[in-house]
Each structure stands twice: as structure tokens, then as C-alpha cells.
Amino acid sequence: MSDIIRLDKSTRMSQVVIYNGIVHLSGQVDTKGTTAAEQTRAILANIDSLLEQAGSNKSRILQATIWLNDVADFAEMNSIWDAWVDAENPPARACGECKLAMDGLKVEILITAAVSA
């Protein structure tokens, strides 16, 4: 049986959980940017960093779930996502609109990836 590895944990949650070769990231947000593009750019940089800590990278992403506070930001978010995502290895992805947990948040991204071979 594989051990569960938890990185960047607090009493509420872990930013990264690795189990059985799969990396689960918590929902990533950015509280500094004011536009969907700024927040998406910062979130994706953080995802890159967390995946690296977990022994993975964006080419190993299996699934992405993206929540937008307002679906009107879809094209703006996608302009940043499309420039970042590994076009040779795009993940399964879903995107929807929902009220996010804090005022000012425009984007939240949840990632599942495989550990690098």
C-alpha cells in the first residue's frame, strides 16, 4: 500500500496530496490580481511550482476544473490558459461559473496530475 504524502499543509487543508502516483492540488486562487487574466497567470505559476514540488509538471496534468465567478471572464481566462497549457498533452477540462469563496476572486483552478515517470 502506498503512503499518502501531504505538502504545504495546515490544519484545514493540504495544498498538495500525492497518493498512488497521482498528484491532487487544492483549488488555487490569487488574491492580488484584479483581472481574470492577472489571477489566471498567477494561479498557473503557482500550479507550476506545486507540481514541481510534487515531482510532476504541466505535461502530466490529467484533469483541470476551472471555476469562474463570472462566465463573462471565460475568454480572458482562456487567453492565458491557452498560452500556458501543454498543447501536446492537454488535460481533460471542465469550466463553470460559481460564486467563489472570497470577494474579488475571479478564477479558481483545481488540478489532478500524474507524478513524473
Dist CA 41 CA 30 (whole Å): 9
Count CB-CB contacts under 10 A for residue 18: 21
Between 117 and 51, residue with greater pLDDT:
51
CATH number where 90 lies: 3.30.1330.40
Q: What is the pLDDT of residue 1?
A: 53
At 50-82, the pLDDT tens digits run: 999 999 999 999 999 999 999 999 999 999 999
Number of domains in the chain: 1
**Above 70 in pLDDT, residue 90?**
yes
**Above 90 in pLDDT, residue 117?**
no
How many residues belong to the chain? 117
User: Residue 51, CB half-sphere, CA atoms under 13 Å: how many?
Assistant: 21
- The boundaries of the domain holding residue 50 are 5-114
SS3 track for 42-110: HHHHHHHHHHHHCCCCHHHEEEEEEEECCHHHHHHHHHHHHHHCCCCCCCEEEEEECCCCCCCCCEEEE
